[in-house]
């Protein structure tokens, strides 16, 4: 039987018997037990009452976290001419057209968000099988297919988080770092949960928000009282 590390055992003991906590208590517990040697990401996971196999129950969207993510986001932009220059000035890490497509086809994907101008979609469309499974495909519904590439780049680097429900009805995302002040994490959690709540699809029946949990990268999770996790 594998030996449990002291840090892991201590974390499990701290979380034992605790469930459905107010969001402030859950955040305090997560922060107190995020003891890895790096700044752990605080993550929220939500169990939704939807079946994403049905188009009218798909949940996806974007939220601007009021206090950012604490993560450096690398942004690639598909654009030409003046729009390419605009993207570069806004801080895009990679800008290109056919050359960027060929680099991605060759296996070079060193970015976290892809943005495209509408005229670039015939090129981007060829990358669907590569970018789609990685949730990197530009999409007008979340503002990543746009003529305002400068604003899209700024949003991506300033705390914007995309979310999309998975097959099992789960949505998850990072809402900050364990080093953040508790109040900032609470604000971010509420912003994320509220955005998912507002994205309730017309086809959802019964209870939509079934469970909300918080965890850190290396720590256990704890369930959160849903009413306390929705922005006031």
Q: What is the DSSP string of the chain?
A: -PPPPHHHHHHHHHHTT--SB-HHHHHHHHHHT--SSS-PEEEEEEEES--TTSGGG--EEEEE-TT--SSPPPEEEE--HHHHHHHHHHT-SEEESHHHHHHHHTT----SEEEE-GGGHHHHGGGHHHHGGGT----GGGT-B-S-HHHHHHHHHTTEEEEE--TTSEEEEEEEETTS-HHHHHHHHHHHHHHHHHT--TT--S-SEEEEEEEETTS-EEEE-HHHHS--
Q: What is the pTM of this model?
A: 0.84
- Please tell me the distance from the alpha carbon of residue 165 to that of residue 209, in angstroms, as a whole number: 12
CATH class, range 17-69+160-229: alpha beta
- Please tell me the distance from the alpha carbon of residue 59 to that of residue 179, in angstroms, as a whole number: 30
pLDDT at 1: 45
Tens of pLDDT along the chain (232 residues)?
Answer: 455 566 666 666 777 767 899 999 999 999 999 988 999 999 999 999 999 999 999 999 999 999 999 999 999 999 999 999 999 999 999 999 999 999 999 999 999 999 999 999 999 999 999 999 998 999 998 999 999 999 999 999 988 999 999 989 999 999 999 999 999 999 999 999 999 999 999 989 899 999 999 999 999 999 999 999 997 6
- Please tell me the distance from the alpha carbon of residue 155 to that of residue 149, in angstroms, as a whole number: 10
Q: What single DSSP character describes residue 70?
A: S
Ordered alpha helix ranges (H), 48-181: 81-90, 98-105, 121-124, 128-131, 149-157
pLDDT at 28: 96
pLDDT at 17: 65
The reply to whether CATH 1.20.1440.130 applies to domain 75-157 is no
pLDDT at 19: 84
pLDDT at 8: 66
Where are the CATH 3.40.50.790 domain residues in the chain? 75-157
Where are the CATH 3.30.190.20 domain residues in the chain? 17-69+160-229
- Please tell me the distance from the alpha carbon of residue 17 to that of residue 7, in angstroms, as a whole number: 18
């Amino acid at each position: 039987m594998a030996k449990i590390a002291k840090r892991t055992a201590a974390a499990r003991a701290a979380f034992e018997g605790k469930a459905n906590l107010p969001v402030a208590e859950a955040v305090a517990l997560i922060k107190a037990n995020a003891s890895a040697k790096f700044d752990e990401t605080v993550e929220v996971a939500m169990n939704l009452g939807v079946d994403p196999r049905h188009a009218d129950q798909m949940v996806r969207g974007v939220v601007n976290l009021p206090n950012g993510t604490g993560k450096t986001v690398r942004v690639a932009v598909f654009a030409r001419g003046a729009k390419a220059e605009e993207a570069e000035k806004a801080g895009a890490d990679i800008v290109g057209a056919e050359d960027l497509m060929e680099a991605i086809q060759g296996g070079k994907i060193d970015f976290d968000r892809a943005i495209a101008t509408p005229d670039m979609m015939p090129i981007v469309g060829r990358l669907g099988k590569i970018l789609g499974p990685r949730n990197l495909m530009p999409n007008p519904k979340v503002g990543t297919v746009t003529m305002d590439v400068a604003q899209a780049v700024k949003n991506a680097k300033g705390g914007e988080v995309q979310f999309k429900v998975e097959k099992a009805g789960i949505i998850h995302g990072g809402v900050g770092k364990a080093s953040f002040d508790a109040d900032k994490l609470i604000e971010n959690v509420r912003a994320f949960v509220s955005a998912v709540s507002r994205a309730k699809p017309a086809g959802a029946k019964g209870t939509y928000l079934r469970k909300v949990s918080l965890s850190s990268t290396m720590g256990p999770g704890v369930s959160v009282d849903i009413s306390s996790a929705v922005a006031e």
